[in-house]
Chain A
């Protein structure tokens, strides 16, 4: 199998250029898009491979407290939520966060962010929201602005309008693009194809509208 692959790769990976900024425009036929979506569909039918550690929100927060980059920890949780553990979503968020003995502004803020994320995701995906997220300790005393322009009043106004409610209620102000992910994109493209769409622009529009309806409203 590897030899077959090598032969195929060699046909198009040998091309080299001395100009890294040289650009090409890619194309995509409907048949190729369909084949890509089909690969995903077949993978979905297989039993999910559960890792030794299930990346729950409590686990993600523990990682953050231990120094992990918050977006890596939340990204791993997201892989569980949308991927291998989507059949046990309630279990991914049921366990309350374990607060560190020495709490810092960083760990307090991210605890609030994790609680807001759980409320946001449970609401969007029809999962019963666990009570622990409503603990007042997850409401920040001072606003946390997720922007480099936190001193700019117009930027603050923009974020206040944009921030999803579970975050704003906890005094966290950020983009409304938080949990967009590849898993759903595959599913929506599959849905569009199942509805007999063959025009790629139409398929993209369908996927984009689904994304907006779930994540940005």
Chain B
């Protein structure tokens, strides 16, 4: 959000999505040690690096390649589109996510509820839309005037 939408606040954690499961299994131990080392060195919240998003949404969302933003040696950071972030925040649906949606929305080309639904259809699988139907309805009603439906 801070990077893509110049939001007034940053997130304080990194949600990790492992595209290749076997890579996760191979990397788990050195990764865990690295996270612990960084946590101690910078006095961070131990959950600054977590897998919750994947644990909850792996079968609900599609993952875009994103645009290459930075490279740090072997680490290549890809940034998703604002529309993708908006879609994830709509299905998360917490009050703070709704506030983020309101920041993001004017920075996209989405102007109607129908266009927002198209973005959801592009990135959120039908099961995901079904599981999060209430959050989606609430977010769309929060963002768009009723007469647009």
Chain A positions within 8 Å of B, measured between CB atoms, are 1-2, 4-6, 8-14, 16-17, 19-29, 31-33, 35-37, 39-40, 43, 46, 48-49, 51-52, 69, 71-72, 74-76, 79, 83-84, 146-149, 152, 154-155, 158, 162, 174-175, 177-178, 180, 182-183, 185-186, 189, 200-201, 204, 207-208
Choice from B13, B45, B122, B142 contacting A149 with Cβ under 8 Å: B142
Contact B58 A148 (CB under 8 A): no
Q: A20-B67, A79-B12 are in contact. Are A149 and B30 (CB under 8 A)?
A: no
14 A/B residue pairs, CB under 8 Å, sorted by A: A1-B34, A8-B30, A9-B27, A13-B74, A23-B64, A26-B19, A27-B21, A32-B24, A36-B54, A36-B55, A79-B45, A149-B145, A175-B93, A178-B95
Q: Is the CB of A39 within 8 A of B55?
A: no
Task: Name the contact of A28 in the complex, choosing from B30, B37, B54 (C-beta under 8 A).
Answer: B54
Contact A49 B43 (CB under 8 A): yes
Q: Are A177 and B47 in contact (CB under 8 A)?
A: no
**Using Cβ atoms and an 8 Å threshold, which residues of chain B touch A152?**
145-146
**A36-B51 contact in complex given A69-B8, A147-B142, C-beta closer than 8 Å:** yes
* Residues of B in contact with A, size category: 35 or more
- Mark out the residues of chain B between 35 and 69 whose CB falls within 8 Å of any chain A CB in the assembled complex: 37, 39-40, 43, 45-47, 50-52, 54-56, 58-59, 62-68
- Among B12, B23, B68, contact of A8 (Cβ-Cβ < 8 Å): B23
B26 interface residue per 8 A CB criterion: yes
Interface bits B71-106 vs A (CB < 8 Å: 1, else 0): 001111011110000000000011111110010000
Query: Which one of B8, B23, B63 lies within 8 Å of A23 (CB-CB)?
Result: B63
Complex interface residues of chain B between 116 and 142 (CB less than 8 A to chain A): 122-123, 125, 131, 135, 138, 141-142
B residues near A (Cβ < 8 Å) are 8-10, 12-13, 17-21, 23-28, 30-34, 37, 39-40, 43, 45-47, 50-52, 54-56, 58-59, 62-68, 73-76, 78-81, 93-99, 102, 122-123, 125, 131, 135, 138, 141-146
**A5 pairs with B30, CB closer than 8 A:** yes
Are the CB atoms of A35 and B24 closer together than 8 Å?
Answer: yes
Contact status A10-B52, CB under 8 Å: no
Chain B contacts of A27 at CB under 8 A? 21, 58
The distance in angstroms between the C-alpha atoms of A43 and B138, with both chains bound, is 35
